[in-house]
């Protein structure tokens, strides 16, 4: 009996790593990451929309900063996992689902970036411009995170969908460029 138990343990130990290899990501994992990114982008967009044109506080600005930090963490996690998706190549159907989710979040991202531009004067009035410098750093970080995530998704997409991925990324990049220019 002891031998059978040891044999079973050894057999399981040799099989389990195949199915739970650390670092390997599935398309379902990426979809879960994108759902988190959508949720955090919505939270950021809502916080930016709620920031008053006058009378905003440093506490409110720091709350927005925290939303950006959380979104950036989700973007970083998501892009790292996209780069580890297995098996490759990703199917056309899986890539289409991922790109549809990105198409869904695109207007939310663009709206948040537009709000950042529209609220610049309001941020400048908070704590002698401290909020503006925080927003500038946040934009730089978001730009890096969004760009990396977009590039990773395009890289794992089948050739038939690369053009679609590039178009989505270009629209988001254009909105980001406007926001970055507003704060430079």
Q: pLDDT, tens digit, for every residue of 111-135?
A: 999 999 999 999 999 999 899 999 9
Tell me if residue 25 falls in helix, strand or coil. strand
Q: What is the mean pLDDT of each run of 10 residues along the chain (184 residues)?
A: 42 39 82 98 98 96 98 97 88 96 98 98 93 96 98 94 97 98 96
3 pairs with which residues across the strands? Answer: none
The whole-model pTM stands at 0.85
pLDDT of residue 22: 59
pLDDT of residue 89: 78
C-alpha to C-alpha distance for 70 and 4, rounded to whole angstroms = 49
pLDDT of residue 16: 38
Burial classification of residue 109, based on how many CB atoms lie within 10 Å of its CB (0-12 exposed, 13-18 middle, 19 or more buried): buried
Terminal-residue alpha carbon distance, the chain = 73
pLDDT of residue 169: 98
pLDDT of residue 6: 43
């Amino acid at each position: 009996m002891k031998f059978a138990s040891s044999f079973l343990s050894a057999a399981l130990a040799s099989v389990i790593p195949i199915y739970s290899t650390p670092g390997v990501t599935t398309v379902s994992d990426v979809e879960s990451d994108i759902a988190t990114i959508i949720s955090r982008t919505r939270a950021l967009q809502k916080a930016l929309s709620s920031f008053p044109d006058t009378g905003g506080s440093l506490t409110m600005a720091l709350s927005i900063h925290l939303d950006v930090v959380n979104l950036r963490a989700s973007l970083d996690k998501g892009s790292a996992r996209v780069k580890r998706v297995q098996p490759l190549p990703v199917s056309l159907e899986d890539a289409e689902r991922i790109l549809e989710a990105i198409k869904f979040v695109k207007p939310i991202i663009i709206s948040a970036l537009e709000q950042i531009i529209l609220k610049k004067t309001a941020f400048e009035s908070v704590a002698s411009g401290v909020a503006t410098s925080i927003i500038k750093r946040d934009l730089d970080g978001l730009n890096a995170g969004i760009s990396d995530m977009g590039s990773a998704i395009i890289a794992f997409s089948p050739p038939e969908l690369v053009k679609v991925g590039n178009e989505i990324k270009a629209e988001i990049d254009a909105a980001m460029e406007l926001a970055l220019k507003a704060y430079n």
